[in-house]
């Protein structure tokens, strides 16, 4: 494939959206940034009632519509209550790996618009004090937030207007290494989002259009299962771009685009999957074909919601999902190349 991917643009865009906190249900700020990005490329942008963004790219033939689903919501937490000692009890948003959160910096976003910083810790955080500091299970029940404010009791925290239901985001620690690795939280699925949004830059720079109309759906509730349960009625097929799985007997690496024929929700469309594999081979795009053993996507949610579509699933290989994740710029580049080939060949 003789196209040049603007990797600098994609990495810059990825860093921007990674650094805008967006736990599921708290996505208006990042969606505003995505809307601005779409407008810069002259693409129509709209939101549905629950806040999913929909970007339209005109095709050579607009009578058929290919949807691309990505999600910008991430794992996170919410204030459940305030403990008597002024620490915060949490409730999880999405499937957090709590052992990886012990010691992580976080922010609490109040409904008055204030942001307070803190650290997520075990309820037995000190090795010199608690006998079970090393062995205590790190789970939702045994984790709390230590606020970076002078608070000694529940009343002190309430005076800060921190309340039950306030969202909590974890510091992502976005880093690009000299060897091309991108390590950060929330590559699931902001890496996929950056791939899809980069199509706007690519089509404009090349002066080309996709064969058919394209609608990019940026969902905001994927991590809790219903992100794309309802999609625009004119979408005929839906390709999910989400993280590719790495581990066990799976073949994918961080340099690959992963093509998924089946995940926990069942098989994806045979013809779409076959076309994706064929295009990857014909265009010498480094790829892997893998079954995802513990996984569901926005395409799954769309099918479960009764939408009359057929669907496929691809994405850059991401190591250590739901923890401190890592991918490689090659995996992102190969994902963009494959979805571009699918939309143009």
Bridge partners of 212, per DSSP, are 61
Give the position of tokens 């219903």. Answer: 226
* Cα distance between residue 27 and residue 23, in whole Å: 7
β-strands 287-291, 257-263 pairing = parallel
DSSP 80-123: EEE-TTS-EEEEEES---GGGTTTEEEEEE-TTS-EEEEEEEES
Q: Write down the catalytic residue from 35, 39, 46, 222.
A: 222
Positive or negative, the CA dihedral 119, 124, 127, 129 is positive
**Does the annotation count 201 as an active-site position?**
no
> Is residue 286 classed as helix, strand or coil in its secondary structure?
coil
For the CA atoms of 282, 288, 290, 292, the dihedral, rounded to the nearest 10 degrees, stands at -120
> Which own/partner contact pairs does 159-164 have at CB distance under 8 Å and 24+ positions apart?
160/110, 160/114, 160/116, 161/110, 161/112, 161/114, 162/79, 162/82, 162/88, 162/108, 162/110, 162/116, 163/79, 163/110, 163/111, 164/79, 164/80, 164/81
- Round to whole Å and give the CA distance between 307 and 303: 5
Give me the helices (H) in 169-224, please: 187-206
DSSP 142: G
**How far is Cα 108 from Cα 167, in angstroms, rounded to an integer?**
6
- Where in the sequence numbering do the catalytic residues fall? 222
């Amino acid at each position: 494939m003789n196209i040049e991917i603007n990797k600098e643009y994609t990495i810059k865009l990825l860093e921007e959206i990674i650094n805008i906190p967006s736990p599921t249900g708290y996505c208006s700020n990042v969606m505003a940034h995505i809307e601005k990005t779409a407008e810069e490329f002259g693409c129509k942008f709209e939101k549905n009632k629950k806040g999913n963004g929909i970007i339209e790219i005109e095709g050579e033939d607009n009578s058929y519509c290919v949807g691309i689903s990505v999600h910008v919501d991430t794992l996170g937490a919410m204030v459940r209550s305030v403990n008597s000692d002024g620490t915060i009890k949490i409730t999880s948003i999405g499937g957090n790996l709590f052992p990886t959160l012990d010691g992580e910096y976080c922010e609490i976003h109040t409904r008055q618009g204030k942001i307070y910083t803190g650290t997520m810790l075990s309820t037995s955080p000190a090795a010199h004090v608690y006998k079970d500091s090393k062995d205590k299970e790190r789970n939702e029940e045994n984790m709390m937030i230590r606020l970076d404010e002078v608070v000694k009791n529940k009343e002190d925290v309430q005076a800060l207007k921190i309340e039950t239901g306030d969202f909590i985001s974890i510091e992502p620690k976005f880093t690009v290494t000299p060897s091309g690795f991108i390590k950060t939280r929330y590559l699931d699925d902001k890496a996929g989002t950056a791939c899809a949004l980069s199509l706007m830059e690519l089509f404009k720079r090349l002066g080309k259009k996709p064969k058919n109309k394209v609608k990019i759906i940026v969902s905001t509730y994927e991590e809790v299962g219903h992100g794309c349960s309802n999609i625009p009625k004119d979408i005929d097929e839906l390709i999910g771009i989400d993280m590719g799985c790495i581990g066990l007997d799976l073949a994918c690496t961080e340099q690959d685009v992963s093509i998924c024929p089946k995940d926990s929700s069942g098989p994806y469309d045979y013809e779409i999957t076959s076309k994706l594999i064929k295009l990857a081979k014909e265009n010498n795009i480094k790829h892997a074909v893998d079954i995802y053993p513990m996984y569901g996507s926005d395409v799954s949610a769309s099918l479960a919601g009764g939408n009359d579509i057929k669907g496929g699933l691809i994405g850059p290989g991401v190591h250590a999902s739901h923890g401190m994740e890592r991918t490689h710029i090659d995996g992102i580049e190969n994902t963009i190349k494959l979805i571009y080939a699918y939309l143009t060949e």
